[in-house]
Structure formats: C-alpha cells, structure tokens
Amino acid sequence: MKREEILDGLRQSPKVDVCVIGGGINGISVFRELALQGLNVLLIEKHDYCSGASSALSRMVHGGLRYLENGEFKLVQESLVERDRLLRNAPHYVAPLPTTVPVFDIFSGLGNGIVRFLGLSRRPSRRGAVAIKAGLSIYDFLTRKRALMPRHQFRGRRTTLEKWPALNPDLKSSATYFDAWVSHPERLGIELLHDGFLADTEAKALNYAELRRTEDGRYHVEDHIGGASVVVEPAMIINATGGWIDIANETLLAPENRPAPLMGGTKGSHLIIDNADLRDALADHMIYYENEDGRICILFPYLGKVLVGSTDIRVDDPETVRCEADERNYILQSLAFVLPDIKIRPEEIVFQFAGVRPLPASTDSFTGRIPRDHFCTVVEPKDGGLPVLCMIGGKWTTFRSFGELAADMTLERLGRQRRVATTDRPIGGGRAFPTNTPVWLAQVATAKGLSGAHMAELFARYGTDAEAVAGFIAAGPNVPLPHTGYSVREFQFLIRDEAVEHLDDLLLRRTTLAVSGELSLDMMDAVLDLLAQEKRWTSAQRANERTRFLTLLDERHGVDEDMLSARNEPRSTECDTTAKSG
C-alpha cells in the first residue's frame, strides 16, 4: 500500500487494534506476529526501518558465549534455538560462521567466574582455556539434539599458528566452534514487514512518521514526509523503540504515568576494513578474541571486506551516535594486539557504524555485565490513556521469540487467539528455498532471460525473491549503472516496492553498497537521479537530498565525498550481467 493510501485509509477509519511504534527488528517482529493473527496493526517508525540498533549489530546470530559467565543460561539457550531457526527459516541471509578463540591463558577466568557467580566481583577478566572449554561444552550440550553444526574443537599452539600464522604468537592454544552471521539484517527486516502485509491486508506500516498524544488525549500520526497529521484510535500501543523507549514514552504518557527509566543503553561501534592481508589472515573464520583489557572483540570476513568491533559505552540518547576517534583507535589497537604484523592504513577503513544496544536499566559499572535478556512490561496510565506495552532489551538473534512474547501478551489483553506460529515459518526469500541452487538458478535465468551470473547475484541479494526481481528487470529496457552488479530496473523495483523515501534508505539499507565500501560518487549520483525521477523531485529537492546523504555518510559513517570520488576509478561503462536481459 502506498503512503497516501495508508493515510487516507486512517482518515476514513481511524480504529486499529494495535499501534506498534519503532520499526527496528523487534517492532517489525511483533508487527508480523500480530498481522499473522489477523489483527489490524499499524507500525510507525520515526526514521527508516532498521536504521537504529538493527543496522548497527556485529552481524552475529549467536547464542552469546560470553553471557554464560554472567549466568544468563536461559538467554543463551533461547538464542541458540533462535539461531538454529534462522539458519532454517532465512538461509538466504543467515549462514554458519566458524569461530576461533585464541587462548592466552590456561586457568584464568575460572576463579573470577566463581567470584562473580557469588556476586563478589563484576570486573571483566581474562578467560583461560579451562573457562572457554567449559563454555563451549555447555554450548555443545544445549545444541546436542539439533546438531546442525560441528562440535567445538581445541588446537594446540603449533597447529593454531600453522592455520593462522598472523595471530599473536603469545597464544597458548585456540578453540573453534560454530555460530552464525547475517549478511543483510536490514533487508531481513523489510522481508518480515512484507510477510506481515501478505498475511493481512489491514496491516500497514509507515516509516518517517511518529505517534503523539495531544493535550485533548487523542493520538496523532505525524507524517514527516507529507506533513499530514492524522488521528488514530488504537486499542493498545506497543513501544518497541529500543534505546529510545523512555524518550518515546514521554510522547505517549503524562509525566505522572511514566515508569522509572527502563533503558540503560550502551553504544557500540564497528569498522569495515578493506585489507587483503587481514582478510586472508582470518582463513574464513571469525576471530572472537579478548583485548588486553578483557573486553571481547570480533573480526570476520564480511562481503569481501573485514568487519571489526566493537566498543561498549553508556549513552542516554541514541539519536546521533557515531563511531568517535577514540573508539576507532581502540578497535585498531585491539586489532594490533591480536594480529600484530598486520598494518591498517586509514584509507583502508571504508565504512564505520555505531548503534545503541537497548539494554535494561542497570547500575552495573561494567557495561559487559549488564543482562542481555528481554522482557515486556505494560504501563497502565491512570488518566484514561491507552496501555503501553514496553519491549525492553533483546538481541537481534532473538527478535522472533521477543516478538512472539509481546504478541502473546497483546493477544491476551485484547481477548484474541493465536492462529499461526512463526517458529518454522520461512522469511521472505527463504521461502521455497532450493535444495539444488545451481539448478534453480539455471531454470529461473532461462525463464526470465537473464544471464546466469546476474541471476546468481540477485539470489545472493534476495534469496528466492530474486525470481520476482528478475521478472521485473526482464519486463523493461535495462540500462547499466556505474556499479556493474546493479541495473536501473533493480533500483526501480526497490524504490517502488520497499517504502524508499530517502537516498540513504536505498544505499545504506535496501542494498549493501555503502557498508561494503563499494559505493562510488558516480553510483551515488546515478541512483539519486533515479530516485528523483521516481519521486518527481525538483532540482532543489534533489540537491537537498544529495547534501543530506553526503552529510550523513560523512558524519555517521566516516566516508567523505573525496573517498567516494576516489572509488569512481576504474570506471566501467558496461553492465556485463545485463547482457541477456534485454
């Protein structure tokens, strides 16, 4: 449904069952759950979908080995179950990730673990081989029945350095186990939204909009694109704004009805590095290592580059967080510790990002020890306002079970029944996933008249939804773009089908062009031209959009216009993958 249709529909019929505010992965998850149960649900997102923490994660889909030392066994168990579900339900984006932990001590960590368990200390400390062995054995035990991936394995110092010669030679041994990673977390959010739309035609969502309670006690949707303000009458509100939860409650609840602060978010930053020695040094593994201060850091191959992170710093307002110079230095220093001979030049940092973990309020002075679990609480205003179910905490990995929990509480309050379970429900391009991918690709490529290479690229980006994208591409004349992997028709498909309002929606979230460091200035301008054409922008609007994007990219992601311009070379004028697409 188009934006204007949604707003017109609300003008004519303002009643909805539930209004979810916050379109990160958790808000979208509960939206999908409720839409599948037949509820008339409206999702309102202030910026773009999955533009907050849900675009800033380490891209690990994991049980959370280190949460074991905080005693969060239930969370680890739930996360491992959800990880394994995602491997089955979203195989186009979630894949196994062999993970290696370099071990620098034998016994340390154990004593501290016991001391922490007794509540006597919460200070992070080095983890030795015995502590890591204990954690990995629990991991194996929790997944023993499903056994989707191999069990953990230890290597001695010599065999570790044979496989990873660039690792710090002070190590004593290493442990390898399996977790998983997600390639396109923002796209998976869009696919979940679409699943909700497909399930129930009354379910609708708006990005770039806010819900506000006005002085007369009514609730208004404020549209930041067209400027409209439309009254809505939900029976209940779900606050899924993650790190913004207390700030959002201020717009929904009078001061006397607000709960004590629910959120104690911490900021984390990552770098994307383009350095072939670094990439090769990983031998396709994630290195999950402890920095000298005892903090866990990660690095793993990501879309041809290397993702490195992260930091953990308390913040109050997630609105404008970015990776600061001291965080960048910290991450580079941690890298120099674990891979001492690999030198990173500043221009090899092709992208950076930061976000706020929506952690529950906590007074713990060590951020790594704040619980990572999730829960919901319902705030009942005493002034006749609507109940607000607040979703607190949560990892990306557990978005389905968190959405399920919030949906079940909502259904119970509204006296509605659950009709559909999501546990085994494939997501978006994970539906009808082929058992024999080459055969599937060859068949679809032939049917749509695209080259095999083009079809394979579309499949990597959209899973089985690539068939619909290929159909759209094949149905019109195609024009190449400065980035040879993409074509004009593909961008038109995204603009028309995926609620794109700004250039950053396309370049930062619907595609991985920016995060993978592949975005050039020419490509940016070409995509902007397309968007301006589709939106019928004036040249002044186009110029404003260009400035908006370049400012955002520079301030939030450390990529300035000169860096984009340098990526214009070498240029290609041919879109090889469209050769057969007509």
Ligand X SMILES: Cc1cc2nc3c(=O)[nH]c(=O)nc-3n(C[C@H](O)[C@H](O)[C@H](O)COP(=O)(O)OP(=O)(O)OC[C@H]3O[C@@H](n4cnc5c(N)ncnc54)[C@H](O)[C@@H]3O)c2cc1C
Question: Contact residues for ligand X (CB under 6 A)?
Answer: 21-27, 44-47, 51-54, 56-60, 62, 210, 240-244, 248, 251, 268, 310, 355-358, 394-397
In the complex with ligand X, the residue whose CB is nearer, 110 or 240, is: 240
Nearest one of 248, 215, 212 to 231, comparing CA atoms = 212
In the complex with ligand X, the residue whose CB is nearer, 318 or 482, is: 318
In the complex with ligand X, the residue whose CB is nearer, 65 or 466, is: 65
The least CB distance from residue 56 to ligand X, in Å, is 5
Q: Which tokens sit at 401?
A: 């079970």
Q: H/E element holding 524? A: helix 521-535
In the complex with ligand X, the residue whose CB is nearer, 171 or 192, is: 192
Give the residue closest to ligand X by C-beta.
24
The least CB distance from residue 186 to ligand X, in Å, is 10
In the complex with ligand X, the residue whose CB is nearer, 25 or 273, is: 25
Instruction: Kindly list the distances between the CA atom of residue 527 and the CA atoms of 510, 511, 521, in Å, as whole numbers in the listed order.
Output: 12, 12, 10
* Rounded Cα gap, residues 298 and 288, in angstroms: 5
Q: Which tokens sit at 176?
A: 């390898």
In the complex with ligand X, the residue whose CB is nearer, 241 or 401, is: 241
The least CB distance from residue 26 to ligand X, in Å, is 4
Q: Other C-beta atoms within 10 Å of 142: how many?
A: 18
Are 45 and 205 a contacting pair, CB within 8 Å? yes
Cis peptide bond N-terminal to 570, omega within 30: yes
The least CB distance from residue 406 to ligand X, in Å, is 11
Longest alpha-carbon distance in the chain: 72
Which DSSP category does 274 fall into?
-
The least CB distance from residue 66 to ligand X, in Å, is 12
In the complex with ligand X, the residue whose CB is nearer, 47 or 285, is: 47
3-state helix, strand, coil in the chain (%, to 5): 40, 20, 40
Q: Which tokens sit at 320?
A: 């404008």
Q: Other C-beta atoms within 10 Å of 350: how many?
A: 22
| Residues composing the chain | 582
Nearest one of 284, 370, 275, 274 to 66, comparing CA atoms = 370
The least CB distance from residue 206 to ligand X, in Å, is 9
Are 235 and 13 a contacting pair, CB within 8 Å? no
* Rounded Cα gap, residues 507 and 517, in angstroms: 11
* Rounded Cα gap, residues 462 and 93, in angstroms: 8
In the complex with ligand X, the residue whose CB is nearer, 47 or 400, is: 47
The least CB distance from residue 492 to ligand X, in Å, is 25
The least CB distance from residue 321 to ligand X, in Å, is 9
The least CB distance from residue 217 to ligand X, in Å, is 18
229-239 and 15-21 strand pairing: parallel
* Rounded Cα gap, residues 38 and 275, in angstroms: 49
The least CB distance from residue 47 to ligand X, in Å, is 4
In the complex with ligand X, the residue whose CB is nearer, 376 or 575, is: 376
Cis peptide bond N-terminal to 121, omega within 30: no
In the complex with ligand X, the residue whose CB is nearer, 157 or 224, is: 224
